Amino acid sequence: MLKKNLESEHVGEDRKHRGRFWRKTRWAFIFSVTLVALFPVRLAAQTTSSAAPTSDQGFGYGTGVQTPLQFAGENAPENLAALSFGASAYYDDNVLASNTGQVGDEALSLNSNLRISRQTKNLALGFDYAPFFQLYRQLGKDSQLNQVASLDLAYLLAPRFILGLHDTFGYQYGAYPSLNEEPILSGPTSPTALNQLIFPYTVRTLTNMAGLDLTFKKSRRTSVTFSGGYNLGRFGNQAGAIESLYNNKGAHGGVKFKYRATEHTSFGFALDHHDSTYQLGGVFGQRTQNESALLSVESRLSPTLIVTVNGGTQYVHTLGQSSVEAGAGHGFYGAGGGSITEEVRNTALTFSVQRNVSDGGGLYASVISTDATFAVRRRLVVHWEVSLRGGADRADNLFSQRANERTDFLTGGIYFTRPLRNGSVFHISYVNMHESYKGTLPAFDGFDRNQVAIGFDFRVKTIPLAP
Protein backbone atom coordinates (compact mmCIF):
# COMPACT_ATOMS: atom_id res chain seq x y z
CA MET A 1 0.00 0.00 0.00
CA LEU A 2 2.82 2.41 0.90
CA LYS A 3 4.49 1.71 -2.47
CA LYS A 4 1.25 2.47 -4.32
CA ASN A 5 0.82 5.71 -2.41
CA LEU A 6 4.37 6.79 -3.23
CA GLU A 7 3.88 5.94 -6.89
CA SER A 8 0.60 7.86 -6.91
CA GLU A 9 2.28 10.90 -5.36
CA HIS A 10 5.09 10.69 -7.90
CA VAL A 11 2.63 10.55 -10.84
CA GLY A 12 0.67 13.46 -9.40
CA GLU A 13 3.86 15.51 -9.01
CA ASP A 14 4.87 14.77 -12.62
CA ARG A 15 1.44 15.89 -13.85
CA LYS A 16 1.74 19.12 -11.89
CA HIS A 17 5.18 19.80 -13.36
CA ARG A 18 4.00 19.03 -16.91
CA GLY A 19 1.02 21.37 -16.50
CA ARG A 20 3.24 24.12 -15.11
CA PHE A 21 5.76 23.55 -17.91
CA TRP A 22 3.20 24.08 -20.70
CA ARG A 23 1.66 27.10 -18.97
CA LYS A 24 5.11 28.71 -18.62
CA THR A 25 5.98 27.80 -22.22
CA ARG A 26 2.76 29.35 -23.53
CA TRP A 27 3.22 32.60 -21.63
CA ALA A 28 6.91 32.86 -22.55
CA PHE A 29 6.01 32.44 -26.23
CA ILE A 30 3.19 35.02 -26.05
CA PHE A 31 5.46 37.48 -24.25
CA SER A 32 8.32 37.17 -26.75
CA VAL A 33 5.98 37.58 -29.73
CA THR A 34 4.38 40.62 -28.09
CA LEU A 35 7.77 42.26 -27.57
CA VAL A 36 8.65 41.89 -31.25
CA ALA A 37 5.24 43.17 -32.33
CA LEU A 38 5.37 46.28 -30.12
CA PHE A 39 8.76 47.48 -31.35
CA PRO A 40 8.82 49.44 -34.63
CA VAL A 41 11.07 47.57 -37.07
CA ARG A 42 13.04 48.89 -40.01
CA LEU A 43 15.87 47.54 -42.11
CA ALA A 44 18.60 49.93 -41.05
CA ALA A 45 22.01 49.90 -39.42
CA GLN A 46 22.16 48.98 -35.74
CA THR A 47 22.47 51.96 -33.45
CA THR A 48 23.61 52.57 -29.91
CA SER A 49 21.93 54.97 -27.54
CA SER A 50 24.46 56.20 -25.02
CA ALA A 51 21.70 58.06 -23.18
CA ALA A 52 19.72 54.90 -22.41
CA PRO A 53 18.72 54.72 -18.73
CA THR A 54 20.33 52.26 -16.34
CA SER A 55 19.29 51.48 -12.79
CA ASP A 56 21.81 51.31 -9.95
CA GLN A 57 21.16 47.61 -9.35
CA GLY A 58 24.50 46.57 -10.76
CA PHE A 59 26.47 48.50 -8.15
CA GLY A 60 28.25 46.93 -5.23
CA TYR A 61 26.43 44.45 -3.05
CA GLY A 62 22.70 44.56 -2.58
CA THR A 63 20.03 43.52 -5.04
CA GLY A 64 22.51 43.95 -7.88
CA VAL A 65 22.39 42.42 -11.32
CA GLN A 66 25.78 41.24 -12.61
CA THR A 67 27.13 42.60 -15.89
CA PRO A 68 28.61 40.63 -18.82
CA LEU A 69 32.40 40.32 -18.96
CA GLN A 70 33.69 42.04 -22.12
CA PHE A 71 36.96 42.98 -23.78
CA ALA A 72 37.97 46.64 -23.74
CA GLY A 73 35.98 48.42 -26.44
CA GLU A 74 33.64 45.48 -26.96
CA ASN A 75 29.94 46.33 -27.07
CA ALA A 76 27.01 43.96 -27.18
CA PRO A 77 24.80 44.33 -30.28
CA GLU A 78 21.88 46.67 -29.67
CA ASN A 79 18.51 47.40 -31.28
CA LEU A 80 17.92 44.04 -32.87
CA ALA A 81 15.87 40.86 -32.65
CA ALA A 82 17.87 37.71 -33.42
CA LEU A 83 16.84 34.08 -33.76
CA SER A 84 19.39 31.25 -33.78
CA PHE A 85 19.43 27.45 -33.65
CA GLY A 86 22.16 25.03 -32.64
CA ALA A 87 23.10 21.37 -32.38
CA SER A 88 25.72 19.73 -30.16
CA ALA A 89 26.94 16.17 -29.75
CA TYR A 90 28.32 15.36 -26.31
CA TYR A 91 29.31 12.61 -23.91
CA ASP A 92 28.29 12.60 -20.25
CA ASP A 93 30.05 10.04 -18.04
CA ASN A 94 27.56 10.33 -15.15
CA VAL A 95 24.09 11.09 -16.47
CA LEU A 96 22.33 10.25 -13.18
CA ALA A 97 24.75 12.35 -11.08
CA SER A 98 25.54 9.50 -8.70
CA ASN A 99 28.80 7.67 -8.07
CA THR A 100 26.79 4.57 -7.10
CA GLY A 101 26.04 2.71 -10.33
CA GLN A 102 27.57 5.45 -12.47
CA VAL A 103 26.11 5.48 -16.01
CA GLY A 104 27.58 7.25 -19.05
CA ASP A 105 25.86 7.99 -22.36
CA GLU A 106 26.14 9.91 -25.60
CA ALA A 107 23.56 12.55 -26.40
CA LEU A 108 22.42 15.12 -28.93
CA SER A 109 21.47 18.61 -27.75
CA LEU A 110 19.18 20.74 -29.93
CA ASN A 111 18.74 24.35 -28.90
CA SER A 112 17.30 27.65 -30.06
CA ASN A 113 17.57 31.21 -28.83
CA LEU A 114 15.46 34.34 -29.23
CA ARG A 115 17.32 37.50 -28.24
CA ILE A 116 15.90 41.02 -28.24
CA SER A 117 17.91 44.13 -27.42
CA ARG A 118 16.31 47.56 -27.36
CA GLN A 119 18.03 50.88 -26.54
CA THR A 120 16.36 54.30 -26.75
CA LYS A 121 16.61 57.56 -24.85
CA ASN A 122 14.07 56.39 -22.28
CA LEU A 123 14.33 52.60 -22.45
CA ALA A 124 16.97 49.87 -22.08
CA LEU A 125 15.72 46.33 -22.58
CA GLY A 126 17.30 42.91 -22.96
CA PHE A 127 15.34 39.68 -23.38
CA ASP A 128 16.56 36.11 -23.93
CA TYR A 129 14.53 32.94 -24.34
CA ALA A 130 16.29 29.61 -24.96
CA PRO A 131 14.44 26.28 -25.15
CA PHE A 132 16.67 23.22 -25.63
CA PHE A 133 16.19 19.46 -25.91
CA GLN A 134 18.63 16.71 -24.90
CA LEU A 135 18.23 13.31 -26.55
CA TYR A 136 20.23 10.43 -25.01
CA ARG A 137 21.19 7.42 -27.10
CA GLN A 138 20.59 4.78 -24.39
CA LEU A 139 18.75 6.53 -21.57
CA GLY A 140 15.77 7.68 -23.58
CA LYS A 141 13.63 8.26 -20.49
CA ASP A 142 16.06 10.99 -19.40
CA SER A 143 15.63 12.94 -22.66
CA GLN A 144 13.89 16.17 -21.70
CA LEU A 145 12.76 19.53 -23.05
CA ASN A 146 14.21 22.43 -21.04
CA GLN A 147 13.93 26.19 -21.21
CA VAL A 148 15.50 29.29 -19.69
CA ALA A 149 14.56 32.95 -20.06
CA SER A 150 15.71 36.31 -18.74
CA LEU A 151 14.42 39.89 -18.86
CA ASP A 152 16.24 43.07 -17.85
CA LEU A 153 14.46 46.41 -18.32
CA ALA A 154 15.13 49.99 -17.24
CA TYR A 155 12.69 52.79 -18.09
CA LEU A 156 13.08 56.53 -17.49
CA LEU A 157 9.80 57.56 -15.84
CA ALA A 158 10.90 61.14 -15.25
CA PRO A 159 14.20 63.05 -15.37
CA ARG A 160 15.10 61.79 -11.87
CA PHE A 161 13.22 58.47 -11.66
CA ILE A 162 14.19 55.15 -13.26
CA LEU A 163 12.03 52.02 -13.07
CA GLY A 164 13.77 48.66 -13.31
CA LEU A 165 12.30 45.20 -13.92
CA HIS A 166 14.36 41.99 -13.78
CA ASP A 167 13.27 38.37 -14.14
CA THR A 168 15.08 35.07 -14.70
CA PHE A 169 13.23 31.82 -15.26
CA GLY A 170 14.40 28.23 -15.66
CA TYR A 171 12.63 24.91 -16.15
CA GLN A 172 15.32 22.28 -16.53
CA TYR A 173 15.99 18.63 -15.92
CA GLY A 174 19.08 17.78 -13.93
CA ALA A 175 22.50 19.28 -13.39
CA TYR A 176 23.39 20.28 -16.93
CA PRO A 177 25.93 23.05 -17.39
CA SER A 178 25.51 25.06 -20.56
CA LEU A 179 26.86 23.26 -23.63
CA ASN A 180 26.69 26.53 -25.53
CA GLU A 181 28.82 29.17 -23.92
CA GLU A 182 26.74 31.78 -22.11
CA PRO A 183 28.05 35.28 -21.32
CA ILE A 184 30.37 35.40 -18.32
CA LEU A 185 28.92 37.60 -15.59
CA SER A 186 31.16 39.79 -13.45
CA GLY A 187 30.75 41.56 -10.14
CA PRO A 188 29.43 40.40 -6.75
CA THR A 189 26.38 38.15 -6.62
CA SER A 190 23.12 39.20 -5.00
CA PRO A 191 22.27 37.91 -1.49
CA THR A 192 18.64 37.51 -2.60
CA ALA A 193 19.46 35.20 -5.54
CA LEU A 194 18.89 31.46 -5.33
CA ASN A 195 21.95 29.29 -4.74
CA GLN A 196 23.65 28.83 -8.11
CA LEU A 197 26.49 26.42 -7.26
CA ILE A 198 24.67 23.50 -5.62
CA PHE A 199 23.07 21.16 -8.17
CA PRO A 200 19.81 19.37 -7.27
CA TYR A 201 20.74 16.08 -8.94
CA THR A 202 18.76 14.72 -11.88
CA VAL A 203 15.32 16.05 -11.07
CA ARG A 204 13.00 18.45 -12.82
CA THR A 205 13.71 21.92 -11.41
CA LEU A 206 11.68 25.11 -11.74
CA THR A 207 13.24 28.41 -10.62
CA ASN A 208 12.04 31.97 -10.97
CA MET A 209 13.59 35.16 -9.58
CA ALA A 210 11.86 38.47 -10.25
CA GLY A 211 12.51 41.97 -8.98
CA LEU A 212 11.23 45.53 -9.34
CA ASP A 213 13.16 48.63 -8.34
CA LEU A 214 12.71 52.38 -8.43
CA THR A 215 15.77 54.64 -8.43
CA PHE A 216 15.62 58.31 -7.48
CA LYS A 217 18.66 60.26 -8.69
CA LYS A 218 18.86 63.17 -6.29
CA SER A 219 21.93 64.53 -8.03
CA ARG A 220 24.79 63.40 -10.25
CA ARG A 221 26.49 62.03 -7.12
CA THR A 222 23.62 60.67 -5.04
CA SER A 223 20.83 58.16 -5.66
CA VAL A 224 18.41 56.05 -3.64
CA THR A 225 16.95 52.76 -4.89
CA PHE A 226 13.87 51.03 -3.47
CA SER A 227 13.54 47.39 -4.52
CA GLY A 228 11.39 44.35 -4.00
CA GLY A 229 10.91 40.93 -5.52
CA TYR A 230 10.25 37.25 -5.05
CA ASN A 231 11.94 33.93 -5.70
CA LEU A 232 10.61 30.43 -6.28
CA GLY A 233 12.32 27.05 -6.42
CA ARG A 234 10.55 23.72 -6.94
CA PHE A 235 12.07 20.27 -7.40
CA GLY A 236 10.75 16.96 -8.66
CA ASN A 237 11.32 13.65 -6.89
CA GLN A 238 14.76 12.04 -7.00
CA ALA A 239 14.50 8.47 -8.25
CA GLY A 240 15.14 6.05 -5.38
CA ALA A 241 15.50 8.82 -2.81
CA ILE A 242 13.96 8.42 0.64
CA GLU A 243 13.70 12.14 1.25
CA SER A 244 12.52 14.91 -1.06
CA LEU A 245 14.30 18.18 -1.77
CA TYR A 246 13.37 21.49 -0.17
CA ASN A 247 11.00 23.58 -2.30
CA ASN A 248 11.17 27.26 -1.45
CA LYS A 249 9.34 30.49 -1.99
CA GLY A 250 10.34 33.89 -0.73
CA ALA A 251 10.00 37.65 -0.99
CA HIS A 252 12.42 40.47 -0.33
CA GLY A 253 12.44 44.23 -0.10
CA GLY A 254 15.03 46.86 0.67
CA VAL A 255 16.53 50.26 0.13
CA LYS A 256 20.00 51.20 -1.10
CA PHE A 257 21.83 54.52 -0.88
CA LYS A 258 24.66 55.29 -3.30
CA TYR A 259 27.13 58.16 -3.21
CA ARG A 260 29.74 58.83 -5.90
CA ALA A 261 32.63 60.36 -3.97
CA THR A 262 34.88 60.84 -7.00
CA GLU A 263 34.71 60.19 -10.70
CA HIS A 264 35.99 56.65 -10.16
CA THR A 265 34.84 55.66 -6.64
CA SER A 266 31.36 55.11 -5.20
CA PHE A 267 30.09 54.09 -1.77
CA GLY A 268 26.86 52.29 -0.99
CA PHE A 269 24.78 51.22 1.97
CA ALA A 270 21.95 48.69 1.67
CA LEU A 271 19.24 47.44 4.01
CA ASP A 272 17.39 44.30 2.96
CA HIS A 273 14.67 42.04 4.35
CA HIS A 274 14.30 38.52 2.95
CA ASP A 275 11.53 36.14 4.03
CA SER A 276 11.75 32.51 2.81
CA THR A 277 9.47 29.54 3.44
CA TYR A 278 10.57 25.95 2.75
CA GLN A 279 8.58 22.83 1.94
CA LEU A 280 9.57 19.30 2.88
CA GLY A 281 7.19 16.35 2.87
CA GLY A 282 4.36 18.17 1.09
CA VAL A 283 3.82 21.07 3.53
CA PHE A 284 5.34 24.56 3.50
CA GLY A 285 6.35 25.13 7.10
CA GLN A 286 9.92 26.07 8.00
CA ARG A 287 10.48 29.80 7.60
CA THR A 288 13.62 31.95 7.64
CA GLN A 289 13.68 35.74 7.99
CA ASN A 290 16.95 37.43 7.11
CA GLU A 291 17.75 41.09 7.84
CA SER A 292 20.88 42.46 6.16
CA ALA A 293 22.84 45.70 6.60
CA LEU A 294 25.71 45.97 4.13
CA LEU A 295 28.32 48.52 3.14
CA SER A 296 30.01 48.46 -0.27
CA VAL A 297 32.75 50.29 -2.16
CA GLU A 298 33.33 50.24 -5.89
CA SER A 299 36.41 51.79 -7.48
CA ARG A 300 37.78 51.93 -11.01
CA LEU A 301 41.49 51.78 -10.26
CA SER A 302 42.41 52.09 -13.95
CA PRO A 303 40.51 52.36 -17.25
CA THR A 304 40.35 48.55 -17.37
CA LEU A 305 40.28 47.49 -13.68
CA ILE A 306 37.26 47.59 -11.32
CA VAL A 307 37.37 46.43 -7.69
CA THR A 308 34.40 46.05 -5.32
CA VAL A 309 34.45 45.26 -1.61
CA ASN A 310 31.42 44.68 0.64
CA GLY A 311 30.74 43.72 4.22
CA GLY A 312 28.18 43.87 6.97
CA THR A 313 25.94 41.77 9.16
CA GLN A 314 22.89 39.58 8.75
CA TYR A 315 20.40 38.68 11.45
CA VAL A 316 18.54 35.40 10.96
CA HIS A 317 15.28 34.44 12.65
CA THR A 318 13.66 31.03 12.06
CA LEU A 319 10.04 29.97 12.51
CA GLY A 320 8.07 26.74 12.18
CA GLN A 321 10.72 24.51 13.76
CA SER A 322 10.04 21.46 15.86
CA SER A 323 10.66 21.55 19.61
CA VAL A 324 13.96 19.73 19.07
CA GLU A 325 15.12 22.29 16.46
CA ALA A 326 13.75 25.35 18.29
CA GLY A 327 16.26 28.18 18.37
CA ALA A 328 18.64 26.60 15.84
CA GLY A 329 20.06 29.08 13.39
CA HIS A 330 18.98 32.23 15.23
CA GLY A 331 21.48 35.06 15.58
CA PHE A 332 23.89 37.39 13.82
CA TYR A 333 26.16 36.31 10.97
CA GLY A 334 28.90 38.20 9.22
CA ALA A 335 28.60 38.73 5.47
CA GLY A 336 31.18 40.05 3.07
CA GLY A 337 33.28 39.58 0.01
CA GLY A 338 34.49 41.33 -3.09
CA SER A 339 35.24 41.10 -6.78
CA ILE A 340 37.90 42.08 -9.31
CA THR A 341 37.19 42.66 -12.99
CA GLU A 342 39.91 43.35 -15.57
CA GLU A 343 38.92 44.03 -19.18
CA VAL A 344 41.70 44.69 -21.70
CA ARG A 345 41.89 44.28 -25.47
CA ASN A 346 42.63 40.54 -25.71
CA THR A 347 42.01 39.32 -22.16
CA ALA A 348 39.12 39.80 -19.75
CA LEU A 349 38.91 38.19 -16.33
CA THR A 350 36.76 38.27 -13.23
CA PHE A 351 37.15 36.84 -9.74
CA SER A 352 34.74 37.09 -6.81
CA VAL A 353 34.34 35.67 -3.30
CA GLN A 354 31.31 35.91 -1.03
CA ARG A 355 30.07 34.63 2.32
CA ASN A 356 26.45 35.06 3.41
CA VAL A 357 23.30 33.26 4.51
CA SER A 358 21.34 31.93 1.52
CA ASP A 359 19.03 29.10 0.48
CA GLY A 360 20.41 25.55 0.32
CA GLY A 361 19.80 24.79 -3.34
CA GLY A 362 17.19 22.16 -2.46
CA LEU A 363 19.43 20.12 -0.15
CA TYR A 364 18.77 22.20 2.97
CA ALA A 365 16.51 25.07 3.98
CA SER A 366 19.03 27.86 4.72
CA VAL A 367 22.81 27.61 4.70
CA ILE A 368 25.92 29.64 5.39
CA SER A 369 27.33 29.81 1.88
CA THR A 370 31.01 30.50 1.18
CA ASP A 371 31.74 30.60 -2.53
CA ALA A 372 34.35 31.72 -5.03
CA THR A 373 34.08 32.02 -8.81
CA PHE A 374 36.66 32.72 -11.48
CA ALA A 375 36.44 33.23 -15.25
CA VAL A 376 38.75 34.48 -17.99
CA ARG A 377 38.28 35.15 -21.70
CA ARG A 378 41.23 35.22 -24.10
CA ARG A 379 41.42 35.99 -27.81
CA LEU A 380 43.61 33.58 -29.74
CA VAL A 381 44.86 33.51 -33.32
CA VAL A 382 42.63 33.13 -36.39
CA HIS A 383 39.51 34.43 -34.60
CA TRP A 384 39.49 31.67 -31.97
CA GLU A 385 38.54 32.50 -28.38
CA VAL A 386 39.03 30.45 -25.21
CA SER A 387 37.21 30.80 -21.89
CA LEU A 388 38.09 29.22 -18.57
CA ARG A 389 35.54 29.06 -15.75
CA GLY A 390 35.63 27.70 -12.24
CA GLY A 391 33.62 27.79 -9.04
CA ALA A 392 33.68 26.44 -5.50
CA ASP A 393 31.04 26.52 -2.80
CA ARG A 394 30.77 25.25 0.77
CA ALA A 395 27.22 25.24 2.14
CA ASP A 396 26.96 24.65 5.90
CA ASN A 397 23.46 23.73 7.08
CA LEU A 398 22.28 26.65 9.20
CA PHE A 399 20.12 24.43 11.43
CA SER A 400 22.69 21.74 12.28
CA GLN A 401 25.96 23.61 12.67
CA ARG A 402 27.03 21.49 15.65
CA ALA A 403 26.76 18.34 13.50
CA ASN A 404 28.94 20.00 10.85
CA GLU A 405 26.49 19.05 8.10
CA ARG A 406 27.60 20.51 4.79
CA THR A 407 27.93 20.18 1.03
CA ASP A 408 31.08 20.98 -0.97
CA PHE A 409 30.92 21.65 -4.69
CA LEU A 410 33.66 22.25 -7.27
CA THR A 411 33.31 22.89 -10.98
CA GLY A 412 35.59 23.90 -13.83
CA GLY A 413 35.33 24.12 -17.59
CA ILE A 414 37.09 25.23 -20.75
CA TYR A 415 35.32 26.50 -23.88
CA PHE A 416 36.76 27.08 -27.36
CA THR A 417 34.71 29.11 -29.83
CA ARG A 418 35.25 30.31 -33.39
CA PRO A 419 32.86 32.65 -35.25
CA LEU A 420 31.84 31.56 -38.75
CA ARG A 421 29.92 33.33 -41.49
CA ASN A 422 26.62 35.15 -40.90
CA GLY A 423 26.88 35.08 -37.12
CA SER A 424 27.31 31.29 -36.81
CA VAL A 425 29.67 29.85 -34.17
CA PHE A 426 31.60 26.58 -33.81
CA HIS A 427 32.30 25.51 -30.21
CA ILE A 428 34.09 22.79 -28.22
CA SER A 429 33.79 22.45 -24.44
CA TYR A 430 34.77 20.34 -21.45
CA VAL A 431 33.16 20.63 -18.00
CA ASN A 432 33.94 18.81 -14.74
CA MET A 433 31.82 18.78 -11.56
CA HIS A 434 32.41 17.31 -8.11
CA GLU A 435 29.92 17.35 -5.23
CA SER A 436 30.32 15.72 -1.82
CA TYR A 437 28.37 15.68 1.44
CA LYS A 438 29.10 15.41 5.13
CA GLY A 439 26.47 14.70 7.74
CA THR A 440 23.00 13.20 7.51
CA LEU A 441 22.17 13.03 3.81
CA PRO A 442 21.91 9.23 3.39
CA ALA A 443 19.36 9.53 0.59
CA PHE A 444 21.85 11.21 -1.74
CA ASP A 445 25.23 10.18 -3.04
CA GLY A 446 28.10 12.46 -3.99
CA PHE A 447 29.07 12.56 -7.63
CA ASP A 448 31.89 13.29 -10.07
CA ARG A 449 30.85 14.24 -13.58
CA ASN A 450 32.57 15.02 -16.89
CA GLN A 451 30.99 16.35 -20.07
CA VAL A 452 32.61 16.88 -23.48
CA ALA A 453 30.66 18.64 -26.26
CA ILE A 454 31.16 19.83 -29.84
CA GLY A 455 28.62 21.69 -31.95
CA PHE A 456 27.45 24.61 -34.07
CA ASP A 457 25.12 27.56 -33.50
CA PHE A 458 23.49 29.06 -36.60
CA ARG A 459 22.11 32.61 -36.79
CA VAL A 460 18.84 32.21 -38.71
CA LYS A 461 17.45 35.73 -38.70
CA THR A 462 18.47 39.18 -37.49
CA ILE A 463 16.01 42.07 -37.62
CA PRO A 464 17.33 45.57 -36.84
CA LEU A 465 14.96 47.61 -34.66
CA ALA A 466 14.34 51.30 -35.06
CA PRO A 467 16.18 53.46 -32.47
45-72 residue pLDDT tens: 333 334 566 655 444 454 455 778 888 8
428-438 residue pLDDT tens: 999 998 988 88
Which comes out higher in pLDDT, residue 422 or 182? Answer: 422
The pLDDT of residue 347 is 94
The pLDDT of residue 109 is 87
Please list the residues that pair with 298 across neighbouring strands: 266, 308
Confidence of residue 26 (pLDDT cuts 50, 70, 90): very low
Its pTM stands at 0.80
The pLDDT of residue 376 is 94
Lowest mean pLDDT among 11-15, 90-94, 196-200, 382-386: 11-15
Lowest mean pLDDT among 115-124, 149-158, 280-289, 448-457: 280-289
DSSP 203: S
* Cα distance between residue 424 and residue 100, in whole Å: 40
End-to-end CA distance of the chain: 65
Are residues 395 and 406 in contact, defined by beta-carbon separation less than 8 angstroms? yes
pLDDT tops 90 at residue 284: no
The pLDDT of residue 52 is 60
Please list the residues that pair with 350 across neighbouring strands: 341, 375
User: What residues does each domain of the chain span?
Assistant: 2-464
pLDDT tops 60 at residue 152: yes
Determine the CATH number of domain 2-464. Answer: 2.40.160
Are residues 179 and 453 in contact, defined by beta-carbon separation less than 8 angstroms? yes
Which comes out higher in pLDDT, residue 291 or 235? Answer: 291
pLDDT tops 80 at residue 217: yes
φ, ψ for residue 363 (rounded to 5)?
Answer: -75, -40
350-398 residue pLDDT tens: 999 989 888 888 888 888 999 899 999 999 988 899 999 999 999 898 8
